[in-house]
Amino acid sequence: MKLWDKNIQTDRLIEQFTIGKDRELDLLLARYDILGSLAHITMLQSIGLLGKDELQVLAKELVAIYRDAEQGSFVIEEGVEDVHSQVELILTRRIGDTGKKIHAARSRNDQVLLDIKLFIRDEIQQVVGEVYTLFKLLLSQSEQYRHILIPGYTHLQVAMPSSFGLWFGAYAENLVDDVLMLQAAYRISDQNPLGSAAGYGSSFPINRKMTTELLGFGNLNYNVINAQMSRGKTERVCSFALASLSGTLSKMAGDICLFASQNFGFLKLPDELTTGSSIMPHKKNPDVFELIRAKCNKIQALPGEIDHIWNNLPSGYFRDMQIIKESFLPVFSEMHSCIDMASYAVARITPVEEVLGDSRYQHIFSVEAVNKLVMSGLPFREAYRKVAMQIQEGTYLPDQQVVHSHEGSLGNLCNTEIAAKMEHVLSLFNFDKKDKACQDLLNRNDGK
């Protein structure tokens, strides 16, 4: 079944090539397609294109199909082109020609636009919740291990004293920036495109503000051409936010791989978190963190992939957009697993105490020595040269007392302020509005 069928037989090879993975990927969009149809028919009834009895029958069946999709029993049958066609096919089987009326005043173009935006909203909400779990864990670890000093590096050379309090806290605060990026992606996704049809609007007197409210959108894509142009751009912006988060997770995983190696020895990984070698019986490999790093690096390539497909297209719809779905829709599943695994694994690593007792790190306190001379009245450049000469002559004796008091330093981690910063960012999302609107839409039409 095809919504555009005109009794013309399409070449089988052409049909297979053009449908691509739509039937498989559209299962991810099924619930959202049905929600969109519920809002759309409610609006159609309000402008006289559906009778009240027709609305009641259609809505009841759509909710029943939604429940099937929710439980995983919704399928797109062989020979059916996409989720839109499957939903309409089920309706016509159950209630006859009335089922065909749901397509009035819209196109597959704005249907899939809407589906993707509804999908993104829910997926971002889940990602934000998972990030917040990891954020709280990192801040807790920062507080718990704030007293354990470790080397800080520049150019991968021993530089200055750091601590696990600083290290854990740094990744926690980094996640705040990632959630800000996710918020931008959410706001761009949280605009209703429904009613733009093929990108040029409709001659029906539709009420686009009504569907915006029914689906709990924060705003409306007013200009219908702009609504169509949001296809691809929305996914691109969202992919940048996911890439930012992936960069944080990848860097953290890379640090852990380094810190857990024998040459560093700053962290201990429990046996159950490691894998072994097929020929070296002593090996305990940090595969979980290596895979987080690799998977997140792969996600960071997604914006470029979308750019190459979308960037030079003129305004209007093109089938090129279908290919973006193949890379974009599955990325959230990968993202969820990486965040969840990062939280699981980071909670089980153990920092090693007294790392700085090793003589190889004695010069790490040289800046402290310079600063103490400056505090006693010596100009900084003279103090610097004096300590440098002591190091060269082998007479430098480190004083391992480190006193840092400014905001964000070893002695003043500002974890409370970092937590407040995250809470503020989280408060700017309107997940409750979305959730309530969609639940109300289902409840008012549920036949139970």
| Parts of the chain with a pLDDT under 70 | 1-20, 276-278, 447-448
Cβ neighbors of 71 (< 8 A, separation 6 or more) are: none
Looking at residue 75, its pLDDT comes to: 95
**CA quadruple 177, 180, 182, 184: dihedral sign:** negative
Q: What pLDDT is attached to residue 1?
A: 46
Alpha-carbon distance of 47 to 123, in angstroms, equals 33
**In this predicted structure, what is the pLDDT of residue 153?**
94
Residue 402 CB contacts under 8 Å (≥ 6 apart), including other chains: 149, 161, 365, 368, 410, 411
* Residue 278 CA to its chain's centroid (Å): 36
What letters, b where the CB count within 10 A reaches 16 and e where it falls short, cover 3-32?
A: eeeeeeeeeeeeeeeebeebbebbbbbbbb
* Nearest-angstrom CA–CA distance, 365 and 372: 11
Predicted confidence at residue 18, as pLDDT, reads: 59
pLDDT of residue 367: 87
Structural tokens at position 266: 């700053």
Which CATH number applies to 12-104: 3.40.50.150, 3.50.50.60, 1.10.275.10, 3.30.930.10?
1.10.275.10
Domain ranges of the chain: 12-104, 109-154+161-191+225-357
157-166 residue pLDDT tens: 998 999 999 9
Q: What is the pLDDT of residue 398?
A: 82
Q: Tell me which of 3.50.50.60, 2.40.160.10, 1.20.200.10, 3.30.1330.180 is the CATH number of domain 109-154+161-191+225-357.
A: 1.20.200.10
pLDDT of res. 4: 42
Q: Which tokens sit at 438?
A: 């969609």
Rg value, the chain, Cα: 28
Instruction: For residue 28, report the phi and psi dihedrals to the nearest 5 degrees.
Output: -70, -20
Rounded CA-CA distance 47/40 in Å is 11
Contacts of 139 (CB under 8 A, 6+ apart): 168, 169, 172, 415, 418, 419
Q: What is the pLDDT of residue 106?
A: 93
